[in-house]
Structure formats: C-alpha cells, structure tokens
C-alpha cells in the first residue's frame, strides 16, 4: 500500500476483565486479525478483586502491536482506534509520573458494600437512582474511588490539590496511548460511576459531595465518537487517531446496530447483559433495571435500559467442573437434546445471588421438581433453560418500564452459539431471536464509533446495511404453554430467594 492511499482498516482495543484483546476490522466489518493476552487476577481476600493497572496497559499495547503485525499492516494503514472496556473498574494515578497509586479495583469487587448499605440507610438511594439511573451497589465506580482516596496514605490531600487522576479503564488506556496528553472518558462509561448526572450530562456536585470525591480527579466527559487525539510517537510506528470509546455492553449494542428505540440485544457470556435502546428518553425503571447512557453522538445522548443476569454461561462450567456430568462445555447441547424437555426440573443458578430484577444477594442455587426419573440430561436441559428464563424476566421488566413491545432480540456472546438455548429463548419470548454473522460485536461497536468519527463509514445507514443475519430462531411454543412455564420458573425462583442470612 502506498502512503497516498487512504487507510483501509480500523483497530478496536477491548480492555476486558480477564484479558486484553485487539481486533483489526476491514471496511466490510470483517475480522482481519486478532490478538489476545490474559493478565493476572488479584484476590487480596474473599470478595475483593484487583488488577495491576500496568498489566492492563502493557497487555493492551502488546496485543495492539501484535494484531497490526499479524495482519501484515503498518500503523499508517489504520484509519482510527476505537476503545471498549470493562466498565466499572477504577484506576487512580499520579498525574506527574503516570504511576497508579493502588491496584485497579475491579467491578466485581465487593469491598464497598458496607458503604452502600450506609448510604441506603441514610435514605440516599432514591437521589442516586434519579440522577444516575443506577442502584446503590458496590458494582459501580464511585464508591471504589472514595475507598482508594481514603485508604492510600496522603491520597485525599493530593487528590484535592489536583495531583491525582481517576479513570475507568478507557481513561487509563487513552492516557497511556497519548503519552499522558489526555484525561478523558465518554458518556457511556461516565454513566456507570454514581457521580455523573445522566440528564444534565455533567459530573454532579451533590453526588461528589456525598461520596467525598474531589472534582479535580475527574476526567473530561466526551462523546463516544469523535477524534480525541493521536497515539504518542513511537508506540505503534505511526500516530493513529483515537476516535471512539464506549463501555463493553454499550459497544456491543452499537455493534448489533440496535440504533432505534425498542431494539434490544442480549450478550450471553459468563453472565448475561441485555440492553434496550430508549433513544433520547432516560426511562426511569420501576422494576429494578438500570437506566444508562448507551452512547453520545454529535452532542446527543442515547439512553438504554439494562438488566444483568449474574450466572449464564457459568452454569455450563458448573455442570462440567462442579457436577462432572459433561467433559467439555460443547457437550452440554448433545446431553440436553437427549430428552424432549426438562421433565419438570427447574434449576435456579443463584450461585452468587440474583441480579436484575431481584438484586437478592442472599439467594442461592436451587434445583426443584426432581423425581426418581430425573437424569443428568434433564438437569443439563434445565440449566440451559435457566439462562433463557432469566433473560425472559429481564425483557418482561424492560417492556413494562418502556411501554415498548420487542420485535426481535439480537444475540451474541459465547453461549449464543447454542442452538437449543436460542430456540428455547425465542419460544419463551414469543419473538424471533437473531444471531448475527459477526459475533465480535463488542469490538465491532468500538470500531464503528471510531470509523464514523473519521469518515471511514459515512453514517449509521451504512452500518445498518452491513449487519448480516447468521440464523433466526422463530418462536414455536403456544402462548398458554409459555405462560405456564414462566409461572413455574418464578415459583422456583421464590424457593431460592433469601436463603442465606444477611450476616452470611
């Protein structure tokens, strides 16, 4: 390629929870090259999860270089970089040296649960939900920042003097990619901090005061698609524009081209994350879902309702590693298809409590409806059906909150390749479940956001035209049967709830 030709590729960086990934996409949205590197998980004690922020940066830079090299490209062939990331993980670093002052505190970390309980007891939950769209939970970033400032010697004073910077993983990566030039985040990541008012699009002084986080540490909030700056000389071989940022689930929603109100996607990974686009309306949830910024383009915020299921693909790992009834995850579908149905067995995988719409940390895993005739195949089938039941409950809550009736559900993530589960999902929802040809939707969404900013793709209409279906699962179950199954499922969930005492 000569230097006079336009760059033909977009590089997406995906800063995940267990690994850093980099994917090169061509103009058709096809994967040209990918690289991935895991980094260590740090567990100081039960319930605490940390990462070394330098590990996040070094692995992300390494896979970026590797992906470009394995595609046999030069940095000058890359039109722009898009970034997507694990959303609520927190890094605090020294502005002068770029050195983190503590390990990154990961979204899964529960160390601030007590602080959240205190704030709830003080009657603050309604204020936080109204302004941020979130519930008061240790999952989100704000209480983690406060914890670091309170537990690292001298940190609070340094933060107030403007010597420290806080950011989620996107901010940390951009800061390092630009050689310390930029301290920014995008609206989708800001909306997960408990510090950002999703209605005004600003950091909120009242919430900052309650959590005791100085404004001086905060990044500037930018759109999800604009040219923020360029990579520092010497990192990748040429300076590349950084032009897109979105949290992982929002990026996946954009990658699935769920661009109109009422379009929804579900990602079937370790857990499940379902997002429904509500366009310019931040729909308040009466059913314990989250109201979140999906992305901000051209100064306009698009909102979504989000529900999360804590255990989805992880239930298949449990069948393999805990029960030992399958040798590999791929075997579960074969075993489950050995019976026509679950034989009345319901498995509620509340191994770590229940997520939306219950938010019950004291629920525990339960299997009900077993008889002498129950076999391993029935339990395997009940496990797959449990993922679909949990997702159906999320969608039920979303439709109640938004008043929108879903036309189809777009799906991605590892477990979306399981045809039996996807068919059952369509049956329970009563709408088609559609799997796309390109399932790397998280990285693709980041690529799309970056590509739009630099004119690599012209507009959203071009993205819609590129989205291609791999398989469509049409519902086959009768409405009365569906209602009966959901009723039994909810009865099983009640059996699992409030099992542990609050003291643990």
Q: Is 219 within 8 Å of 166 (Cβ atoms)?
A: yes
What is the Cα Rg of the chain in Å? 22
Q: Is 17 flagged in the annotation as binding?
A: yes
According to the annotation, is 188 in a ligand binding site? no
Q: Tell me the sheet residues that pair with 156.
A: none
- Per the annotation, does 197 bind a ligand? no
430 annotated as a binding-site residue: no
Task: Tell whether 19 is in a known binding site.
Answer: yes
Q: Please check if 2 is assigned to a binding site.
A: no
List CB contacts of 70: < 8 A, sequence separation 6 or more: 33, 35
User: How far apart are the C-alpha atoms of 474 and 408, rounded to whole Å?
Assistant: 10
170 φ/ψ angles, rounded to the nearest 5 degrees = -60, -45
Which pair of tokens denotes residue 215?
């404004």
H/E segment holding residue 304? strand 300-309
60 annotated as ligand-binding? no
CA 61, CA 54: separation in Å to the nearest integer? 11
3-class secondary structure, 472:
strand
Distance CA 145, CA 447 (A): 29
* Host H or E run for residue 203: strand 202-203
Torsion angles phi and psi, residue 250, rounded to 5 = -70, -40
Pairing verdict, β 78-85 and 9-15: parallel
**Is 34 marked as binding a ligand?**
no
- ω into 357 cis (within 30 of 0): yes
- In 319-375, which residue ranges form alpha helices assigned H by DSSP? 331-336
313 is in an annotated binding site: yes
DSSP states of 405-454: PPS-EEEESGGGG-HHHHHHHHHHHTS-EEEES---HHHHHHHHHHHHHT
179 is in an annotated binding site: no
Q: Annotated binding site for ATP: which residue ranges?
A: 17-19, 270, 313, 317, 414
Per the annotation, binding residues for glycerol are 87-88, 139, 248-249
Binding-site annotation: residue ranges for sn-glycerol 3-phosphate: 17, 87-88, 139, 248
What are the binding residues for ADP?
17, 21, 270, 313, 414, 418
Binding residues, as ranges, are 17-19, 21, 87-88, 139, 248-249, 270, 313, 317, 414, 418
């Amino acid at each position: 390629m000569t230097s006079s030709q336009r760059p033909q590729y977009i590089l997406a960086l995906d800063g995940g929870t267990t690994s850093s990934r980099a994917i090169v996409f061509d103009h058709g949205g096809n994967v040209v090259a990918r690289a991935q590197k895991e980094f260590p998980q740090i567990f100081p004690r039960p319930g605490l999860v940390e990462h070394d922020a330098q590990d996040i940066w070094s692995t992300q830079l390494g896979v970026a270089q590797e992906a470009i090299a394995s595609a046999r490209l030069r940095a000058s062939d890359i039109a722009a970089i898009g970034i997507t990331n694990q959303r609520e993980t927190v890094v605090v670093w020294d502005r002068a040296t770029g050195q983190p002052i503590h390990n990154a505190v990961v979204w899964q970390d529960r160390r601030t649960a007590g602080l959240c309980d205190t704030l709830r007891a003080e009657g603050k939950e309604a204020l936080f939900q109204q302004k941020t769209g979130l519930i008061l939970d240790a999952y989100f970033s704000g209480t983690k920042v406060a914890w670091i400032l309170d537990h690292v010697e001298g940190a609070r004073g340094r933060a107030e003097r403007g010597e420290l910077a806080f950011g989620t993983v996107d901010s940390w990566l951009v800061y390092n990619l630009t050689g310390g030039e930029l301290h920014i985040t995008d609206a989708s990541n800001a909306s997960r901090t408990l510090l950002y008012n999703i209605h005004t699009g600003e950091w909120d002084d009242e919430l900052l005061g309650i959590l005791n986080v100085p404004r001086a540490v905060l990044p500037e909030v930018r759109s999800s698609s604009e040219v923020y700056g360029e990579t520092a000389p010497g990192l990748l071989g040429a300076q590349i524009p950084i032009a897109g940022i979105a949290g992982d689930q929002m990026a996946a929603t954009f990658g699935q081209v769920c661009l109109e109100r009422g379009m929804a996607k579900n990602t079937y990974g370790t857990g499940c994350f379902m997002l429904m686009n509500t366009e310019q309306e931040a729909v308040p949830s009466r059913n314990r879902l989250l109201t979140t910024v999906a992305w901000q383009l051209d100064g306009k915020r698009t909102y979504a309702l989000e529900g999360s299921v804590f255990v989805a693909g992880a239930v298949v790992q449990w069948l393999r590693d805990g029960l030992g009834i399958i040798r590999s995850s791929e075997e579960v579908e074969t075993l489950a298809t050995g019976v026509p149905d679950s034989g009345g067995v319901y498995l509620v995988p509340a191994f770590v409590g229940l997520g939306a719409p219950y938010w019950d940390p004291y629920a525990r895993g339960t299997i009900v409806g077993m008889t002498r005739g129950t076999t391993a195949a029935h339990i395997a089938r009940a496990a797959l059906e449990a993922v679909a039941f949990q997702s159906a409950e999320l969608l039920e809550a979303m439709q109640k909150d938004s008043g929108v009736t879903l036309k189809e559900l777009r799906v991605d993530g590892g477990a979306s390749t399981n045809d039996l589960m996807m068919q059952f999902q369509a049956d329970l929802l009563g709408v088609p479940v559609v799997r796309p040809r390109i399932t790397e939707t998280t990285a693709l969404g980041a690529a799309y956001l970056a590509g739009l900013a630099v004119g690599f793709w012209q507009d959203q209409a071009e993205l819609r035209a590129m989205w291609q279906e791999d398989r469509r699962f049409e519902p086959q179950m009768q409405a009365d049967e569906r209602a009966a199954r959901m009723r039994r499922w909810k009865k099983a969930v009640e059996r699992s709830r409030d099992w542990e005492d609050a003291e643990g």
